[in-house]
Amino acid sequence: MSNPVRNIRILPFWVIITLILLLLQSGDIFAQSPYKGNAWNKVSQLIPGRIECECYDQGGEGVAYHDSDPVNNGSGKLNPANGSFLNEFRMAEGVDISFTKPNEIDNNPFNLVEPQMGRLYVGWTVPGEWINYSVQVKKSGFYSIGLMYTASGDGGIALDLDGKPLTGEMKISSTRNEKEPIAWRQWHHWNKIDSLTVVELKKGQHLLTLKTVSNGNMNYDFLDFKLVKK
Ligand SMILES: [Ca+2]
Ligand SMILES: [Ca+2]
């Protein structure tokens, strides 16, 4: 006769083995976890259109972005917390954000393209950092990608779509000017590249990732996606 106490001990062991085998068979334990971020204010940015770089997804470090330090070096720091929208924009998050200012800070004589004042942008960029954007592509087709930026030295960025490379590294030409008498203003010479590249996009919901690849020291105001060919 079998020992009933021993049978009770054996039963859970076989249940566990069966569950492990079922999990292995379904492949679930190896599947990539789904994206846990979501669009800023729950509204995807639209393509064709302008992707505002500071309106990156919600979800925090490692999900919606990777930043090299957890402090927002602009909102709440360079721009002290004072209750104003521009100074405090997303100040609890790691992505570093500031905004264009008058009095010859961002409207200086070394701009290649004049920026509007009071525009929020992502700054203090470092290679290896990335930012996610939930985007809605309204029409399938080929799109040019423009960028409003500053670059204190030649830099490089790349874009991924749905976790796969959309572009290779794209060179961002320096806006440094040796005639600039104010050292910190090398980070405030604005320029706009109308077409960094042309990419094919399919209609629908996508996840766009902006990656800082080389040099950093760039500020990103917005990306413009324009339909160039259906
Ligand atoms: Ca930071
Ligand atoms: Ca912006």
- What confidence score (pLDDT) does residue 45 get? 98
| pLDDT greater at residue 53 or residue 4 | 53
Of all residues in the chain, what percent carry a pLDDT higher than 90?
85
Q: Ligand 2 centroid vs 111 CA: distance in angstroms?
A: 17
What residues are neighbours of ligand 1 (ion), with CB under 5 Å?
A: 67, 69, 94, 96
Q: Is the pLDDT of residue 1 over 50?
A: no
Output the pLDDT for position 35. Answer: 95
Q: State the distance from the centre of ligand 2 to the C-alpha of 181, rounded, in angstroms.
A: 26
- Mind listing the pLDDT tens digit for each residue in 145-166? 999 999 999 999 999 999 999 9
Rounded to the nearest whole angstrom, what is the distance from the C-alpha of residue 100 to the centroid of ligand 2?
9
pLDDT score of 171:
98
* Gap from CA of 126 to ligand 1 centroid (Å): 9
pLDDT at 146: 98
Domain limits, the chain: 1-31, 38-229
**Secondary structure string (H, E, C) spanning the chain:** CCCHHHHHHHHHHHHHHHHHHHHHHHCHHHCCCCCCCECHHHCCEEECEEEECCCCCECCECCCEECCCCCCCCEECCEECCCCHHHHCCCCCCCCEEECCCCCCCCCCCCCCCCCCCCEEECCCCCCCEEEEEEEECCCEEEEEEEEEEECCCEEEEEEECCEECCCCEEECCCCCCCCCCHHHHHHCCEEEEEEEEEEECCEEEEEEEEEEECCCEEEEEEEEEEEEC
Q: What is the pLDDT of residues 46-93, one digit of tens each?
A: 999 999 999 999 999 999 999 999 999 999 999 999 999 999 999 999
Residues with CB under 5 A from ligand 2 (ion): 52, 120-121, 221-222
Position 24 confidence tier, pLDDT thresholds 50, 70, 90? low
- For residue 53, give the ligand nearest its CA: 2
What is the pLDDT at residue 23? 53
Residue 4 pLDDT > 70, yes or no? Answer: no
**Ligand 2 centroid to 119 CA: how many Å?**
6
- What confidence tier does 230 reach under pLDDT thresholds 50, 70, 90? confident
pLDDT number for residue 27: 46
pLDDT at position 28, please? 46
Q: How far is the CA of 161 from the centre of ligand 2 (A)?
A: 20
Segment 160-176 mean pLDDT: 98
CA-closest candidate to residue 147, choices 124, 175, 126, 127: 175
Q: Residue 6 — very low, low, confident or very high, per pLDDT cuts 50/70/90?
A: low
Give the homologous superfamily in CATH for domain 38-229: Galactose-binding domain-like (2.60.120.260)
Ligand with an atom nearest the CA of residue 61: 1
pLDDT tens by residue, 208-224: 999 999 999 999 999 99
* pLDDT computed for residue 33 by the predictor: 76
| Token digits of residue 57 | 């997804």
- Distance in Å, CA 77 to ligand 1 centroid: 11
Which ligand approaches the C-alpha of residue 121 most closely? 2
What is the structure's pLDDT at 3? 56
**Proportion of the chain above pLDDT 70, given as a percent:** 86
State in Å: Cα 224 to ligand 1 middle.
24
Closest ligand to C-alpha of residue 50 is: 2
